Amino acid sequence: MMKKKAAIAIESKTLYWGISSIILALLALSLVITAMNFRAHILSTPEKLESSILSSRFLTSPQCFAYQDSVTQRIYPRLIDLNRFTDKTINNCYLSNTTKGYNFQLLLRNLETNQEQTIQTSEWYNVPAYTITEPVLIKNEKTTNKGLLLIYTQRPI
């Protein structure tokens, strides 16, 4: 009779510890997955912020559209050199295959003459996700006018 009670006690403890270990393993696994998801969420950069940072090069870089004085070599951010505002320049200053696939279309609107000019990166496919509006000055050969630069941004499908 004693052996039977001992066997039942051992079986019940084994069953208890077996179920407890399975539950503890599942809880630990769910804790690890939750921590990994939280870490990924915290470390991710919002797409609109990332595209805004990437598109700032159009306004500030002399390799893109920022005017650079030929005498002093000074760069004027937000002063668009109209002679450089071409598809060739945008494809040289922004390589979409090396920058996570963002594509851009730029619409430069001269507020004083009501003229518009549009250029785009080589991978643009007419489905914008975000629009960034930047007030700029437009430098032509002889004049400087107020303008607006609309930067349409898209991610690959």
Helix (H) or strand (E) holding 154: strand 144-154
Q: Quick one: CA dihedral 141, 146, 148, 149, positive or negative?
A: positive
> Domain ranges in the chain?
1-44, 47-154
Q: Give pLDDT, residue 1.
A: 53
Helices (H) and strands (E) in the chain, counts: 4, 6
DSSP, collapsed to helix, strand or coil, labels residue 79 as: strand
Mean pLDDT by 10 residues, the chain (157 residues): 65 85 95 92 81 85 90 93 91 70 90 92 83 92 92 80
Q: Read off the pLDDT of residues 20-60 as tens digits, 9 standing for 90 and up.
A: 999 999 999 999 999 999 988 888 878 788 878 888 889 99
Q: Give the chain's length.
A: 157
Q: Cα dihedral angle (75, 79, 80, 81), rounded to 10 degrees? A: -60
Which amino acid, residue 99? T
Q: Give pLDDT, residue 139.
A: 92
Q: Give pLDDT, residue 102.
A: 82
- Say if residues 95 and 151 touch (Cβ distance below 8 Å): no
CA pair distance 57, 96, nearest whole angstrom: 13
Q: Give pLDDT, residue 53.
A: 84
